[in-house]
Amino acid sequence: MPTPTSTQDAIGLLAKLIAFDTTSAKSNLDLIAFVREYLDGYGIASTLVPDGDGKKACLFATIGEGEGGVGLSGHSDCVPVIGQSWTSDPFTLTERDGKLYGRGTCDMKGFIACVLAAVPLFKSAPLSEPIHILISYDEEVGCVGVRPMIARLGEDLPRPRVVIVGEPTGMQVIDGHKCIDVFRTTVTGKEAHSSMPVIGVNAISAASKLVEEIDRMAAEVAASESDPHFDPPYSTVMVAMVDGGTAPNIVPRNCDVLWQLRGLPGSKAKDSPERLEAFAERTLLPGMRAVAPDASIDTKTETSVPAFSAGPDSEAVSLAMTLTGANRASGVSYATEAGLFQDAGCPAVVCGPGDIAQAHAADEFVAISQMEDCLTFLAKLIDRMSA
């Protein structure tokens, strides 16, 4: 097996990646330019897949020749630090007690740093098939950025034989995750003076009944599903935000309910919006429209990330288990880009450094030992792919 890349090389690269504030609301182009220049230094060309206004881009690079190959996929964006209490600058890598602190260290610039640090080994190895590096944007807001890049696989970009998505799993092999569907239900009633509520339709009151129905659906789903591969072992449905009203002396005309489904692969809970609509039509709207004929309750999908299920014969899972030495794979409740790759015909697996419990939190960190494990994983991948 090739000697793993120096951990210090990976840490140095991680420090540079962390210094770019790639919060999803901001551009990632400076980070992408850095990665592109780094790869160019090793004679590796890369292709950019920009978004519609040119403020963000995915990067795709190939090392080696031939068809198929292994894709190493990570997202460049991270979540905000606003409102969080950090003990060090979130955009300056800080090492304490064997841990590397900074926004994105765990989710998921640690994996990208390890991949970049391994590039010299990838470049010098007699690869029997190529290694592809895929870096996306806007994963944190619905896996948006990777979709146009995936659409080009097998067209003007090579299609990897398998894709390893390096989300933080503690270097455990993940072969499935739940979907994430985010819905916005908008209630439109009728304004009135608060001294005469009977001539108005209180949108917040109607929304409160929708919240109760969503909670009831959540309890029903929890009681009807049980898959020990996931924790919790059932689909979850929950209300996340409620926003409505204008002033204390006005019957509120509008109210929005933002709610979410995290569904098991194949879960019947995917019909939750239709069930909520049926409840509204049957229970709420007749009374509302008796006062305000234009009253309405409408649900729209804000975000939809598909569930991921690799299947029992997945070559991606088999490869990751060989490289890690694991004898079993697990499922997780958070979503990744793996389901999108899988649905596009690229067998996928999720395996990367860090603990998801650290992701999105203040003082986010990745353990140096996890970086070392990831570098060993990549060295074993090189050995397996070398002629």
* Residue at token pair 């944190």: 140
9 is catalytic: no
Across 276-378, the runs of DSSP E, i.e. the strands, are: 296-305, 308-309, 330-332, 348-350, 365-367
Give the residue among 218, 213, 183, 221 at the shortest CA–CA distance from 281. 213
Whole-number Cα distances in Å, 192 to 145, 157, 361: 44, 58, 43
* Contact yes or no for 91/18 (Cβ under 8 A): yes
Number of CB atoms found within 10 A of residue 94's CB: 18
Catalytic-role residue among 21, 107, 139, 175: 139
CA atoms within 13 A on the CB side of 372: 6
Record the tokens describing residue 72, joined without a space.
């190493």
Angstrom distance (rounded) from CA 273 to CA 299: 7
271 is catalytic: no
Any idea what the Cα angle at residue 255 is, between residues 252 and 203, rounded to 5°?
50
> Can you say whether the dihedral through the CA atoms of 165, 171, 177, 179 is positive or negative?
negative
Whole-number Cα distances in Å, 251 to 132, 195, 210, 292: 58, 9, 18, 13
Number of CB atoms found within 10 A of residue 25's CB: 12
SS3 assignment, position 295: coil
Whole-number Cα distances in Å, 162 to 72, 311, 339, 347, 350: 9, 13, 13, 5, 11
Catalytic-role residue among 21, 77, 140, 373: 77
Across the chain, the runs of DSSP E, i.e. the strands, are: 46-50, 57-63, 70-75, 94-96, 99-101, 131-136, 162-165, 174-177, 180-188, 236-244, 254-262, 296-305, 308-309, 330-332, 348-350, 365-367
Positions marked active-site: 77, 139
